[in-house]
Amino acid sequence: MATREAREPLSARAGALRTLLLWDRSKRAYIEDLLDEYLRENSLAGADRAFAANLCYGVVRHRNTLRAVAERFVRRPLSDYPRSLRMALAIGLYQWLYLRTPAHAAVSETIEMWQELARRGETEIPNDKRPVGLLNGCLREVCRSSEHLDEAASDASDRETIHTALGWVRVRGIDLPARDVKLHELLGIKYSHPPEMVRVWLERMSEEQLLSFLRHNNRVPPAYLVVRRGASAEALAAQLGADGVDVEFAGEEPVIAVRGAGAIDRLPGFAAGEFWVQDITSRKLALLMPERAGASLLDLCASPGGKLIALLDRGGVERALACDVSEAKLRRVAENLERLHFPLDGIEVLEVDEDPRQLRIARKFDQILVDAPCSNTGVLARRHEARWRLLPENIRQLARVQAELLRAATRLLNPRGHLLYTTCSIEPAENREVVHGVLRASPELRLIEEAEYNPGDAPGDGGYGALLERRG
C-alpha cells in the first residue's frame, strides 16, 4: 500500500542503494540507465546528483575489492547475507576506503541509508536491530583495522593494501594472494579488475605498463564536449565556467574538457545544439576518414552517433545511411542529429540484423564506417561495469563478429572508396588481427593507415583505427 513516506523523494545515498540493488539483480541493465531513471524521478540539487552518481559508479568500479574487504570482516560467507545488506555494506566501505569519509559518518550514514530504504519496504528484511547491528559492527571493525596511506607508502606486492585514487589503504588481515603464486589475483583485487583479464594483460604488458593501465581505469575521466562548427568554444567555456563547471581546453580546438558538470543535458548550449559529447580519441579516429566532397557514407554501427556527427560536422558528406541493430539505438542517433540541427533530408536510418552475414543493402558507398562492437578495454575508466563483463572467450567471440562486419562492409564499398574500422578496445585480437586477417583474404583492399591509442598515454581513451581503401 502506498504511503506518504513512500512517495517522498529518496536521498542521494538511499537512491544510490536502490539503483545498485536494481543493477545487481539484473543481468542486462546498465548502471547509467538505472541511475538516470532515479535522477529523473527525484529532484536533487547538483551536488547530491553528483554524489549519488559517485556512489553508484564507484561501487560498481571497485566491486571485487569491496567484496574482498567485506569477506574479511563478516562472520559468515558474504553470499549468506541479504542483497540489500551486502550492497549497503559496499557503499559504506566505498565511502571509508575510497572517499576517505570520516569513520563516524561512513558508519552512521550507511545505517541511515539502509533504514530509509527499509522503511519504504524495499529491502528483503525488516528494519530492526539485527541488520543495523551487522552494518554497525562490520563497518566499525573495518575502520579500526585499516588506515589511509599516501601513494609512496606501499607497493603492488604488499598483501595488506589496496589502491585508491587518493593513495593506498592498509587493511590489516586481508591477506591477499602472494605475488609469486597468483600475481593476477593479487593485482585484480588491489586494483579491482577481473583477474583472468589481468592474466591476459600480463602476457603482453610489462608490470609497470599494466599498473599504469589499471590505475588509469580507476580514475574519473572528464567529459569532452566537441563544439559544433559555427559555435564559439570560447564563449561556451566562459559560460560553463561562470556556472561553476571546471573547464579546460583539451589541447585542440574545439574540444572542452569538463569535470563536475553533473547532467550534461542541463549544461548551457546543450539544448541549442552547440556541442556533442565525444571522447578525444573517438573523434581522432573518426577524422581518419578522408574528407571527400559529395561522398556517400554508410555507418554500419551508428549509435549513439558520435563518429557520424564528427564527419557531418567536418563537411563533405552529401548522403548518409546510419544502421544499427535496434529501433531504440537508431532513435538515439536521430535525436542527436536533430538536436545538433543537421539537415535530415540527406540522412537515412536502417535497422539491420545482429548477424553481419544477413546484411542486405542494395547500393554501394564511397565511405564506410565500421565502429565495431568490442570489449571496451580502452574505455574502462568511462564504462563503469564493462570490466565485469570481460572474459577472454568473449573477446574471441567478438573478434569473429568484427571480422564478419568488416567483410560485409567490403562488399558495399565503391572502387577507390575508403573503409574505416574502429574499436574502443586495446586488444590485438579485436584490432590488428581482425584487420590484417581480412586484408590477407581480400586482395581488393589495401591498408592506408593504422592508429592505436593506449589509455593514459595522452588525454582521451584507448582505441584503434584502420583506414582501408578499395583498389580501383
Residues known to be catalytic = 424
Separation CA 257–CA 249 (nearest Å): 6
* Type of residue found at 428: P
Separation CA 369–CA 367 (nearest Å): 7
Separation CA 308–CA 245 (nearest Å): 28
Are residues 210 and 202 in contact, defined by beta-carbon separation less than 8 angstroms? yes
End-to-end CA distance of the chain: 71
What separation in angstroms does the CA of 1 have from each of 5, 10, 41, 46?
11, 18, 19, 32
The single residue listed with the C-alpha cell 545544439 is 273
Residue 457 DSSP symbol: S
Return the bridge partners of 231, or none: none
Where on the phi/psi map is residue 444: left (φ > 0), alpha (ψ -120 to 50), or beta?
Answer: alpha
* Burial of 432: CB neighbours in 10 Å, binned 0-12, 13-18, 19+: middle
Q: Mapping DSSP to helix (H, G, I), strand (E, B) and coil, where does residue 275 land?
A: strand
Q: Please report the DSSP string for 421-459 in residue order.
A: EEES---GGGTHHHHHHHHHH-TTEEEEEEEEE-TTSSS
Residue 377 DSSP symbol: T
* Type of residue found at 253: E
Q: Please report the DSSP string for 119-180 in residue order.
A: HTT-SSS-SSHHHHHHHHHHHHHHHHHEEE--GGG--TT-TTEEEETTEEEEETT--PPPHH
Return the bridge partners of 277, or none: 225
Separation CA 472–CA 470 (nearest Å): 6
E strands, 26-93, in order:
none
Question: Which residues, in sequence order, are CB contacts of 208 under 8 Å at separation 6+?
Answer: none
With b meaning 16 or more CB within 10 Å and e meaning fewer, what string describes 348-366?
ebeebeeebeebeeeeebb
